[in-house]
Structure 1
Amino acid sequence: MWIELPLLIVIVILLYIFVILKVIRRVWHFPAPAFIGRGLNSRPRKRIQPPRMLVEALGLRPGAIVAEIGCGPGTFTIDVAKAVSPNGHVYAIDIQQGMLDQLQSNIDREHIANVYPILADASGRIPLDEESVDFIYSVTVLPEIPDRIGALKEVRRLLKSGGLYADAELVFDPDWPLPRTVKKWADAAGFSFKKQLGSFLRYVLVFSKE
């Protein structure tokens, strides 16, 4: 019992912190701070939310042009870049220069040459041409954006006709939305729902620009 009680206390404390964060995030939306980049790019994170899920969900292929909204330190960027190489490339977009600096270090370490970091606000004007991208995705980022529908409209502007957008969410994220909530946002931005992969707690939703 002396082992179980401390463990129970830790679980209760973690749940309490999670609830507090959930309440805070409902009224104050902000991106994950750059100083947690190492944790976001950790092996446990990749086991919980494997980058291959996105590659398979979008059907990425060599030569594809991809954009990532909220790339962070490159947790998913590198796998996606490898999937579309040698002729494809990835526009890695983030609102924080600190995250892009970590991304640059990680892609340099992996000798990845087909990733192009872009400092931009997804709910504003991303400096890419209209209908210039085949696939766009975001991972636990969309709920952090105050104007989600505005951001999705910008995503739609960048996508080619028939292009796909994937949103991946994880229940451990304080901003985790129900799948139906994301579908409502996407519908309001003019997207058509295609499919859902994963589970209720760890899902990927795929939408198309018709």
Structure 2
Amino acid sequence: MWNFKTPGIPDEEFERTEKVPITKEEIRVMQISKARLKPGQIVYDIGCGSGSITVEAAIQVENSGKVIAVDYDENAIELTRKNTEKFNLKNISIVTGNAKEKILDLPEADVIFVGGTGGDTQEIVEKSQNKLKSGGRIVIGVILIETMYSVLTILDDLEFVDVDITQVTISKSRKTSKGTMMLARNPVTIISATRK
């Protein structure tokens, strides 16, 4: 399906619905980069939505690694399952439920992605600390300034190191009757850090 090792699967390659968000292609590429993935790693995708990060991470960690996708929304779980099958990936486990509870039962992770969490981002980051191996990476995508502030506060309190904040605004081309115009998407802030 995707015959490349590089991340950046075009959004249109994924199964999608209006009800379930997708981490857009360019943002996904940056998040995968910030995670510093390699074969054999255990990865969580908390708030997996459409499963686009799940799929991209699974390709990077190869069959020797594993991605655990977690979401409480049945529509998201179904869509992640469809995308897992579409890309013929066997190294993905899908967990339905509240991440704040489910994370406690998961094996230790090398990398944790935190996405659409329904307002529980700070608490999920806090719980992730005990599940992340020493030297492990956490990558959080946020849209709201308040969420960014709460995440940075908890990362500081938990003594994460190498904290990096990158805000990205992407514009994509669209054909019109008179030519091509650029349409801006909402800015996304990517916060990444390493557990001591």
The aligned counterpart of 1:164 is: 137
Which whole-Å CA distance do the structure 2 matches of 1:153 and 1:51 have between them? 23
Equivalent residue in structure 1 for 2:35, among 46, 49, 58: 58
Which whole-Å CA distance do the structure 2 matches of 1:124 and 1:186 have between them? 20
3-state SS of 2:101 partner = coil
- 1:78 to 2:51 alignment: no
2:151 maps to a residue whose letter is: V
Q: CA deviation at 1:35?
A: 5.7
Identity of aligned pairs, percent?
21
3-state SS of 1:150 partner = helix
Equivalent residue in structure 2 for 1:133, among 99, 105, 109: 109
Equivalent residue in structure 1 for 2:166, among 172, 197, 206: 197
The aligned counterpart of 1:145 is: 119
Check the 8 A contact 2:122/2:150 in 1, yes or no.
Answer: no
Q: What is the TM-score when the length of structure 1 is the normalising length?
A: 0.67
Which whole-Å CA distance do the structure 1 matches of 2:54 and 2:80 have between them? 9
Which whole-Å CA distance do the structure 1 matches of 2:97 and 2:189 have between them? 26
Count matched residues.
162
Q: CA deviation at 1:193?
A: 4.8
Which ranges of 4 or more aligned residues in structure 1 deviate by more than 6 Å?
A: none
Summarize deviations over 1:173-195 as a string: whole Å, max 9, x none.
Answer: xx454644420133344533522
Check the 8 A contact 2:19/2:75 in 1, yes or no.
Answer: no
Greater helix content: 1
Which segments of 5 or more consecutive residues in structure 1 lack a partner in the other structure?
A: 1-33
Task: Work out which of the two has the higher radius of gyration on C-alpha atoms and give 1 or 2.
Answer: 1
Greater strand content: 2
Q: What is the TM-score when the length of structure 2 is the normalising length?
A: 0.72
Check the 8 A contact 2:63/2:90 in 1, yes or no.
Answer: no
**CA RMSD across the alignment:** 2.4
Which whole-Å CA distance do the structure 2 matches of 1:192 and 1:76 have between them? 23
Equivalence map 1:1-210=2 (5 Å) = 36-37=19-20, 40-41=21-22, 46-47=24-25, 49-126=26-103, 127-129=105-107, 132-139=108-115, 141-142=116-117, 144-146=118-120, 148-170=121-143, 175=144, 177=146, 179-199=148-168, 201-210=187-196
Check the 8 A contact 1:64/1:87 in 2, yes or no.
Answer: yes
Check the 8 A contact 1:124/1:151 in 2, yes or no.
Answer: no
Check the 8 A contact 1:152/1:189 in 2, yes or no.
Answer: no
Summarize deviations over 1:147-179 as a string: whole Å, max 9, x none.
Answer: x43322211111111111111124xxxx45464
1:185 maps to a residue whose letter is: I
Check the 8 A contact 1:136/1:159 in 2, yes or no.
Answer: yes
Which segments of 5 or more consecutive residues in structure 2 lack a partner in the other structure?
A: 1-16, 170-186
